[in-house]
Structure 1
Amino acid sequence: MDPIKRQKDNIKYGIDIWNVYDFMYLNHNKIPQLVVLEIVIPYESDLIIESKSLKLYLNEFYKKSFSNKEVLIKKIKSQLELTIKHPIKIKVLKKFRPEPKYLDLNNTKLKKTKPNTIIKFNGFRSICPVTSQPDFANIYLYLDKSIDVGYLNKYLMSYKEHGGFHEKCIDKIFIDLYSKLKPDHIEVCGRFQRRGGIDINPIRGTKKKILFNNFREFNQ
């Protein structure tokens, strides 16, 4: 696997949730097991993993046998931590959490949002700086302050030609909105559509306890 240096900004807390859908291994009876992996990488890590190299690494497990899931997870976890030199969390995902209740930014008639509201922007688009292909996501935002609906819509739509990795787009949204509003509590979550069987969902916030969990969008 190939590590990539994380370009850090002035952000206190965050995680990157990677859901791996195309993962198969053999159990102790050599019977194929197709499962979904959840990998959580803390923002504090100085390194992240290049997604294609992770996919190639995980693809090799289809022909490897393990006595149980715990042994499997321990092997993958140790290799990932060796690669990025930081503790991570990984598990076999049994189900996704439900989507939180939110204000639909695309269709609301409000001119300003209310404080302490979860806002959802549907149809975020950015450009992968490596392939020049579009990336699509829904953006979830928690703010303890109100914000102008028209401004926020225009701001998030302005990313449609922006070149940036998933993580850096969410970093920038967090920093821009934090600089503008100076809230005590803000959290930004990007639920990106999968590429190569993996979706990457960065979360950035001002509180150590993360508000958004690993829920799944219909189109992910």
Structure 2
Amino acid sequence: MNTPQDSSLGREVAYPSQYDPALLFPIPRRGAREQIGLDEAALPFVGHDRWQAYELSWLDRRGKPRIAVATIGVPCTSPNLIESKSFKLYLNSLNSTRFDDDEAARQRMVIDLSACAGAGVTVQFGVPPLVEEGEGESLDERDVAIDRYGPPAPEYLSADADAVVTETLGSALLKSNCPVTGQPDWASVSIRYHGPKIDRDGLLRYLVSYREHAEFHEQCVERIFSEISQRCRPEWLEVEARYTRRGGLDINPWRASPGIAQPARTVRDLRQ
């Protein structure tokens, strides 16, 4: 019988780089229920375990990242619960996996999670807003092929010196890794500038090239600011990244040209 002591919980484990459903660790419900006098065949309640996954991503057919917020329902009548750390590792094993479409990714999760729980598990996707309302143009639905996920590739950055604009561009596809633990760091990034018009496809490819890069949040934002400044030559620039919570903390590094007022917005976005 699997027990929590047999799982990866509390142990140092390398974060997966390839899809692996074997990471999921089932723990039978029977033992704990017997301790409190519950009969598996005649439970005095109905219910489910509802999981909310805010750090879920995979690749489309052309290698561009996709993101979603998933709601997962595990029926309380399933013979097994799903151990939490194994669940997190499994979800992160999807990061480099290509699916034909979003439904194929969802169905893969349904199959794998149901096999672990020993009963039918439901999975629903909600796609978070790629750019918050009023915050500019999202890059994330651009039809581009991507095949570079690290190290950061500033050579993708370029701008049209004949078209000077003031605009805000955003992406929810920024991901890097903690240089200490290897854990994935997820963020939405906002880039506001005045100057030569930045090439959208190149900027998106550049941001996605951080996907396997290991650097602290603050350092990533400073690198993005510096490399856009050097390659695109804006008259002024500000870059803000809103990272998802870890241990109850979210961090939102902001770097801007001198004289730019700091952002007034302090509320969390959906994934935070």
Q: TM (normalized to structure 2)?
A: 0.42
> Could you list the runs of 4 or more consecutive aligned residues of structure 1 that deviate by over 6 angstroms after TM superposition?
111-114
Q: Would you say 1:196 and 2:247 are equivalent positions?
A: yes
Are 1:121 and 2:155 counterparts?
no
- 1:106 matches 2:125: no
Give the counterpart letter for 1:199 in structure 2: D
SS in 2 for 1:150: helix
1:140 is aligned, of 179, 186, 190, to 190
For residues 205 and 211 of structure 2, the distance between their equivalents in structure 1, rounded to whole angstroms, comes to: 11
Secondary structure (helix, strand or coil) at the match of 2:198 reads coil
Q: Give identity over the alignment, percent.
A: 34
Judging changes above 3 Å, is the alpha-carbon distance between structure 1 residues 119 and 211 closer, same or farther for their aligned structure 2 residues? farther
Q: Distance in 2 between matches of 1:190 and 1:196?
A: 18
Distance 2:164 2:172 in 1: 19
Structure label with greater radius of gyration: 2
The 1:211–1:108 alpha-carbon spacing in structure 2 relative to 1, beyond 3 Å, is farther
Tell me whether 1:156 sits opposite 2:190 in the alignment: no
- Distance in 2, Cα, partners of 1:204 & 1:157: 19
Superposed CA deviations along residues 28-69 of structure 1, whole A, max 9, x for unmatched, are xxxxxxxxxxxxxxxxxxxxxxxxxxxxxxxxxxxxxxxxxx
Counterpart amino acid of residue 255 in structure 2: R
Q: What is the rounded CA distance, in whole Å, between the counterparts of 1:149 and 1:114 in structure 2?
A: 14
Distance in 2 (alpha carbons) for counterparts of 1:131 and 1:147:
34
AA in 2 matched with 1:105: L
What is the CA-CA distance between 1:114 and the residue it aligns to? 7.3
Give the partner amino acid of 1:170. V
> Which letter maps to 2:183?
Q
Tell me the CA shift for residue 216 of structure 1.
2.0
Q: Distance in 2 between matches of 1:100 and 1:187?
A: 16
Post-superposition Cα deviations, 1:167-219, rounded to whole Å, max 9, x if no partner, equal 00000000000001121110000000011000010000103333533242111
Q: Deviations over 1:91-123 (max 9, x none)?
A: xxxxxxx864210111258x9897211111112
Separation in 1 of the partners of 2:179 and 2:210?
Answer: 13
Pairwise CA RMSD: 2.3
The one of 161, 175, 185 aligned to 2:236: 185
Q: Structure 1-normalised TM-score? A: 0.51
**Conserved 8 A contact 1:127-1:162:** yes
* Contact 1:143 1:186 (8 Å CA) reproduced: yes
Quickly say closer, same or farther: Cα 1:100–1:166, change in 2 above 3 A: farther
Q: Encode CA deviations 1:100-156: one digit per residue, 9 max, x unaligned.
A: 4210111258x9897211111112100001110100000100021211111101100
TM alignment of 1:13-162, pairs within 5 A: 100-108=134-142, 115-145=165-195, 146-162=197-213
Q: CA separation in 2, counterparts of 1:114 and 1:101? A: 19
